[in-house]
């Protein structure tokens, strides 16, 4: 099982860099971004102006006692309120659309980038971990961009504008406000730091638990067959409890900010009221000034409170954004292959390799000759999985690999596809080092039939056509006939138009395997790789699959990973692999005469581990 403890770093490696990169995506929608900014700033300034109009409105009645001036100021305030409504509505609308387009861009980049990553990336990351990034982290980022970005901007403009207005009305009362704001900032910093720590941990543990759930759900049959339920439940309960504790701590600090800031705001309001009354008695400020200043006092503390409440979502979004960018920053699968596959040549299927040389392009027919020369490989540096592997396969030959689980059989076939790069030696395809061949062109000459078949949601025809997307309906049917799949497909409810569920769960194991062979056949490959396709089916289906594979192998270079020795007796060459080395090679008769490891396996003296 894959490890699920690969939690991302709890502290952002570079908070500023992550935030700047988050907002850099707004460049793709500059009109919405600039328009949203202008409208939000306009709405915030209008709200400050509305608060400031309280002073002349009240003074026009209390001090000047002028109804005409009162009506005039009231009309001005009404226009300002209308401006607030329109500007804030349009500003939030612009920012919401901006957020959705930004998230659309990020999702597209993520999915496209993941398709280009090497297999080693998927070896290090569980499916659940990746799904959590695509769902939870993207959703948190969406919420931050849609709500937090505009709210922070509104708070910043409101705070600065209000502070300036307060200085204009009364520097003395402003000094009282500043002293209280220092306490508010200190409280926000203390609580926010701890809240951010637990929210980052919460996101990391949520990804860990999602990965575990995804693995358990995918392997539910295995769980039940081996009575793993109790252990699975205990492991889940442990992960769920850790998530609960972290989430509780995060929520505790999250809800703590509101009452703290609310209490300090009431204290501030009281101090300003008393100070304003004293200054009014001295004649330094008017009643209208006090009313406006009190409103500004509530307004200036509100941005701090609002930003404090947004910190929880913001920190969770930053943690999620960091994981998103971590995926986007992964190096894509390198491909410097300059040798391309071209048509209209005398090679197999009319294809040739276009090999660049100092004298120009040399066209070499595609045949399917594969050769390993002293190949070493390890998934982890310093830990060799394959050692000094040398072998060759001529076009039309069937080469079988036999050995214990983990001996390196599948690894050899993965290297032919260049899913991984070798550490030492050479792998030649028609005499060309495969590192020189473009990966897309290299893989287009090959097909794989795996032991564990995966079918996609869609019709039967679509799943067969996955081997070659431009295959015609007639070619799909011919491939199905070659694979011995045509008969059972005809008896499905809608034949080739029958819709399969994800994974093909509405088909039997044997039927899925026959479709897999048909998928390989429609690709018309030069090189065929078979990972024992008959190990989990009944005898009748095994015969059908065997016949289908025999037809498919005709004239093709075939590599077979054997779990049942009876299926490889007709192979042109059998390679016995143990501990990453080829310890025996030859035909079935030759290996039986040697009376070595292969002989012992066939006669039951030892068993495959």
Q: Which pLDDT band, with edges at 50, 70 and 90, does 438 fall under?
A: very high
Q: Which pLDDT band, with edges at 50, 70 and 90, does 95 fall under?
A: confident
User: Tell me, what's the pLDDT at 8?
Assistant: 43
Residues in Cβ contact with 432 at an 8 Å cutoff, skipping those fewer than 6 apart? 339, 353, 355, 364
The mean pLDDT value for 418-439 works out to 92
- Distance (Å, whole) CA 383 – CA 580: 11
Q: Which pLDDT band, with edges at 50, 70 and 90, does 604 fall under?
A: low
- Distance (Å, whole) CA 170 – CA 276: 9
The mean pLDDT value for 391-420 works out to 89
- Distance (Å, whole) CA 178 – CA 15: 28
Whether 15-328 shares its CATH topology with 370-603 is answered no
User: Tell me, what's the pLDDT at 536?
Assistant: 54
Looking at the domain that runs over 15-328, which CATH code has it been given?
1.20.1560.10
Which tops the pLDDT comparison, 172 or 537? Answer: 172
Structure tokens at 265: 């705001």
Domain regions of the chain by residue span: 15-328, 370-603
Q: Is the dihedral of CA 154, 157, 161, 162 positive or negative?
A: positive
Q: Indicate whether 355 pLDDT > 70.
A: yes
Report whether 515 contacts 507 (CB < 8 A). Answer: yes
Q: Which pLDDT band, with edges at 50, 70 and 90, does 353 fall under?
A: very high
In tens, the pLDDT along 239-250 reads: 899 888 888 888
Looking at the domain that runs over 370-603, which CATH code has it been given?
3.40.50.300
**Strands 527-531 and 424-429, sheet pairing:** unpaired
């Amino acid at each position: 099982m894959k490890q699920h403890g690969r939690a991302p770093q709890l502290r952002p490696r570079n908070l500023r860099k992550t935030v700047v990169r988050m907002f850099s995506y707004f460049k793709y929608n500059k009109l919405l971004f600039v328009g949203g900014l202008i409208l939000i700033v306009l709405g915030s300034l209008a709200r400050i102006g509305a608060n400031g109009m309280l002073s002349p409105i009240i003074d026009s009645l209390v001090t000047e006692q002028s109804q005409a001036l009162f009506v005039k100021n009231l009309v001005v305030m009404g226009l300002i309120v209308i401006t607030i409504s329109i500007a804030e509505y349009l500003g939030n609308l612009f920012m919401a659309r901006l957020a959705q387009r930004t998230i659309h861009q990020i999702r597209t980049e993520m999915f496209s980038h993941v398709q280009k990553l090497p297999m080693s990336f998927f070896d290090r990351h569980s499916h659940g971990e990746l799904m959590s990034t695509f769902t939870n982290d993207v959703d948190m980022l969406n919420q931050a961009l849609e709500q937090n970005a505009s709210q922070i901007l509104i708070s910043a403009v409101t705070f600065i504008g209000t502070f300036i207005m307060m200085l204009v009305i009364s520097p003395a009362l402003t000094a009282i406000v500043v002293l209280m704001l220092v306490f508010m900032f200190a409280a926000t910093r203390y609580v926010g730091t701890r809240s951010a720590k637990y929210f980052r941990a919460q996101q990391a543990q949520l990804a860990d638990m999602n990965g575990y759930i995804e693995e358990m759900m995918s392997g539910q049959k295995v769980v039940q067959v081996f009575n793993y339920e109790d252990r699975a439940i205990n492991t889940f309960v442990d992960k769920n409890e850790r998530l609960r504790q972290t989430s509780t701590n995060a929520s505790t600090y999250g809800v703590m900010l509101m009452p703290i800031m609310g209490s300090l705001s009431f204290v501030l309001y009281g101090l300003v009221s008393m100070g304003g009354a004293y200054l009014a008695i001295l004649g330094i400020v008017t009643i209208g000034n006090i009313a406006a200043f009190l409103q500004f006092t509530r307004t200036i503390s509100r941005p701090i409170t609002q930003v404090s409440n947004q910190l929880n979502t913001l920190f969770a979004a930053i943690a999620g954004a960091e994981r998103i960018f971590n995926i986007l920053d992964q190096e894509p699968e390198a491909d410097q292959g300059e040798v391309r596959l071209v048509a209209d040549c005398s090679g197999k299927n009319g294809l040739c390799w276009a090999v660049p040389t100092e004298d120009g392009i040399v066209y070499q027919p595609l045949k399917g000759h594969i050769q390993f020369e002293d190949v070493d490989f390890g998934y982890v540096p310093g830990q060799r999985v394959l050692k000094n592997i040398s072998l060759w396969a001529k076009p039309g030959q069937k080469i079988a690999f036999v050995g214990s689980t983990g001996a390196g059989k599948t690894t050899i076939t993965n290297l032919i596809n260049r899913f991984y790069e070798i550490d030492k030696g050479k792998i030649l395809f028609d005499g060309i080092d495969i590192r020189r061949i473009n990966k897309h062109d290299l893989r287009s000459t090959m097909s794989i039939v795996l032991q564990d078949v995966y079918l996609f949601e869609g019709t039967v025809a679509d799943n067969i056509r996955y081997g070659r997307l431009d295959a015609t309906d007639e070619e799909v049917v011919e491939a199905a006939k070659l694979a011995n799949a045509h008969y059972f497909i005809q008896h499905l409810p809608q034949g080739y138009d029958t819709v399969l569920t994800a994974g093909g769960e509405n088909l039997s194991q044997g039927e899925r395997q026959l479709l897999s062979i048909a998928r390989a056949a429609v690709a018309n490959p030069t090189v065929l790789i078979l990972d024992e396709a008959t190990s989990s089916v009944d005898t009748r289906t095994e015969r059908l699959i065997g016949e289908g594979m025999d037809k498919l192998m005709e004239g093709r270079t075939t590599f077979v990973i054997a779990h049942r020795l009876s299926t490889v007796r007709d192979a042109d060459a059998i390679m016995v692999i143990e501990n990453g080395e080829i310890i025996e090679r030859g035909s079935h008769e030759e290996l039986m005469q040697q009376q070595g490891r292969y002989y012992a396996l066939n006669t039951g003296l030892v068993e495959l581990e």
